[in-house]
Amino acid sequence: MTALTHDARDRVYAECARAISEAGTERESLFLARLALLLFEQVGDEERCRAALAQALDGLPVPSLSAGN
């Protein structure tokens, strides 16, 4: 498995944020679940996918009311 470079990670993150905004609040969860499923299919390893889910939840911050300001 090849890791993304720092610059590539930044570009993909920005594109992901843009796509989430485009999906809109009403479809955000559906978009993210669909994206995850498509990426899981690319990974093709159930245990790695489950580990990624656990990592994503670990230490997930609670959104701040001031985050949008």
pLDDT digits (tens, 9 = 90+) for 39-69: 999 999 999 999 999 999 999 999 888 766 5
Per-residue exposure over 15-26, b if at least 16 CB sit within 10 Å of its own CB, e if not: eeeeeeeebeee
Q: How confident is the model at residue 18 (pLDDT cuts 50, 70, 90)?
A: very high
Q: How far apart are CA 11 and CA 14, in angstroms?
A: 5
Name the amino acid, one letter, at 5: T
- Backbone phi, psi, residue 64, to 5°: -90, 140
User: Does residue 37 have a pLDDT over 60?
Assistant: yes
Question: Under a CB-based contact definition with an 8 Å cutoff, are residues 23 and 31 in contact?
Answer: yes
Mean pLDDT of 21-45: 96
